[in-house]
A and B are shown apart, each in its own frame.
Chain A
Amino acid sequence: MFTHETLVEGSKMWGLFYLVGFSICVLIYTFLPANRERFERAEREIFDKDDGPWT
């Protein structure tokens, strides 16, 4: 069945593909033009001077 070597090979290969795939997803999310506005808003919203929850 699984020997140590095949399992190590498999998990390293799978890990590498996973890393690449994950990085691509994160980059897309970060630089998606549709997200630009929400990020810029998030940057500023913490300065809105209020000290109570919004109702």
Chain B
Amino acid sequence: MMQLTTGERQLGAIVLIALAILGIAMAAAGRTDVLGIHGAMVLLYSLALLFLLFSSAFGPEPSPARLTRYYDDPIKVGVGLTLFWAIFGMFIGVWAAAQLAWPILNFDTSWASFGRIRPAHTSGVIFGFGGNALITTSFHVVQRTSRARLADQFSPWFVLFGFNLFCLIAVSGYFLGVTQSKEYAEAEWYADIWLVIVWVTYFVLYVRTLALRKEPHIYVANWYYMAFIIVVAILHIVNNLAVPLSFAHAKSYTIWAGVQDSMVQWWYGHNAVAFFLTAGFLAMLYYYLPKRAERPIFSYRLSILSFWGITFFYMWAGSHHLHYTALPHWVQNLGMTFSVMLLVPSWASAGNALLTLNGAWHKVRDDATLRFIMMAAFFYGLSTFEGSFLAIRPVNSLSHYTDWTVGHVHAGALGWVAMITFGSLYTLVPAIWKRERMYSAALVEVHFWLALVGTLIYVFAMWNSGIIQGLMWRTYSPDNTLVYSFLDTLLAMYPYYIARAFGGLLFLIGAIVAAYNIWMTVRAPSAAQLPLDEDLPASDRPLDGAAPTPAE
């Protein structure tokens, strides 16, 4: 925060004091309700940040020279937050997985029972890990591709800390039993309102920075980040419309009922996957893949076509979560049709990524970071194919309600989302901290194999358990009666639940290795050997002097 001007420090102080007052108001109104506890947390959170701000409040005015450099301080903090949530969210995930195999692992407490830690896992990894990774990398990519510094120094901090306050309120709420029960939108009304404020700030900051760009064309990675920001806002607001018991209660009821609620929920749920877990991470792919491989993207036009395809088609696909339910038949069929069509832009993206690497496979062999990105593109192709396949009604009749869905989600979440994130982080960290390379290439290699083996064990376990259970549920004896009781099918699951927990554990260990490696990279002495002119404005240099050869 050393670069903040006096005006920005004052603005920060005003916002934090307002937030602290809001916390006191929540605590006073909510009292013994969980809202009161959350009020106290808001108060402590804002006071802690206020303390940080004041500890450098009376320093000298920052040098104007800062404006000739990119603003990377929020990115550095964002990397730390990303890794914290990664380890936290994955740990809760492993714990939840272990509880399915050994139910005593909640130690007979309410807060650690499966139903409460499951949303803590999903929100922890999706919003905590994924969200922080998206915000962090978007600040990096938008500055580099626009050749412009972030539009101001206050908003990035507001977005980053505001978003993490949302994550904190959401996740702590689940342990305390505060949830809307809407999957991936469990946070209650006050957290949802706060997220809207943060998100609008994020949007305005992003657009203002784009408006400062020195290129007439907006690089395609920014398109994906923009789609992520805009569409998530729409989804979030519509799905979370709710009426609270009172302003002193955490509990609320959604305005949507029954069938409409199911459609709104899965329109949200599926597009949270599309625009939170796909669009934003494709943005990472379109920037960090060419950067790392030092090759331009195979076809820029194809990336544009697949962008519009994904933006358009995904929004129709949500109803495939509701096959054979009380949702009208025509909506189910529309969802199925568009889910299958979605394969075209999805594979166009995956193919574009893999073809970019054509001719650079020796780099993939030698560089575990690039291999992370390559594997991510591969798993993206795999899980989008699986997604379209599972959206077909008769297939879905077997897979739905089983672990196959869970396996599918994790092929995407571990194989695609987490791997592209780690690949991007390993590229970003040395660049931001001005290090020549990561602390240990060997540890990146170790992480890669832990992540890959962990993902494969997890996914294969869930494919097996899902298909076995789906088949057992519908097995008939020759005299036309169901052969297996529900309990028979549960018993068949136990070995797979143990295998799944083990696969997840490997993945978690990989994340810990990554955090250690990044920590040691940051701690290493700054590489003075980096050429000084790296920090100079680019206008002094020819524009396309360093353009690499195109892909063949």
B539→A46 contact, CB < 8 A: no
Whose C-beta in chain A lies nearest to the C-beta of B213?
A54
Q: How far is the CB of A3 from chain B (nearest CB, A)?
A: 13
- Chain A's interface size range is 20 to 34
B40 to chain A, nearest CB (A): 41
A53 contact set on B, CB distance < 8 A: 67-70, 143, 147-149, 214, 537-538
**Is B543 an interface residue when CB atoms closer than 8 A count as contact?**
yes
Surface stretch bound by A, among B288-296, B441-449, B478-486: B288-296
Interface residues of B in 28-87 (CB under 8 A from A): 67-70
Residues of A within 8 A of B499 (CB): none
Also in contact, A22 and B312, with CB within 8 A (given A48-B546, A50-B541):
yes
Q: How far is the CA of A49 from the CA of B290 in the complex (A)?
A: 13
Q: A33 to B312: give the CA distance in the assembly, Å.
A: 24
Contact of A26 among B294, B305, B546 (CB under 8 A): B305
Cα distance A42–B547 in the bound complex, in angstroms? 11
Contact with A48, one of B149, B216, B334, B543 (Cβ below 8 angstroms): B543
For residue B237, CB closer than 8 A to chain A, the reply is: no
User: Given A26-B305, A45-B215, A47-B548, A39 and B300 touching (CB < 8 A)?
Assistant: yes
Contact A41 B535 (CB under 8 A): no
Does B534 make an interface contact (CB < 8 A)?
yes
Q: A12-B330, A52-B538 are in contact. Are A42 and B69 (CB under 8 A)?
A: no
Say yes or no: is B102 at the interface (Cβ < 8 Å to chain A). Answer: no
Separation in Å of the B222 CB from the closest CB of chain A? 10
Shortest Cβ gap from B71 to chain A (Å): 9
Measured between C-beta atoms, what is the minimum distance from A41 to chain B in Å? 7
B312–A44 CB distance below 8 A:
no
Q: Which residue on chain B has the smallest CB distance to residue A37?
A: B217
Q: How far apart are the CA atoms of A40 and B287 in the complex, in Å?
A: 15
A8-B330, A26-B308, A54-B538 given as contacts; is B300 within 8 A of A43 (CB)? yes
Q: Could you tell me if B308 and A45 are in contact, using CB atoms closer than 8 angstroms?
A: no
What residues make up the interface of B, taking CB atoms closer than 8 Å to A? 67-70, 143-145, 147-149, 214-217, 219-220, 287, 290-291, 294, 296-297, 300-301, 304-305, 308, 312, 328, 330, 334, 431, 534-539, 541, 543-548, 550
A-to-B contact residues, CB < 8 Å: 8, 12, 19, 22, 26-27, 29-31, 38-55
Pull 13 A–B residue pairs with CB atoms less than 8 Å apart, ordered by A.
A26-B308, A42-B300, A43-B297, A46-B145, A47-B290, A47-B291, A50-B534, A50-B536, A51-B70, A51-B431, A52-B534, A53-B68, A53-B149
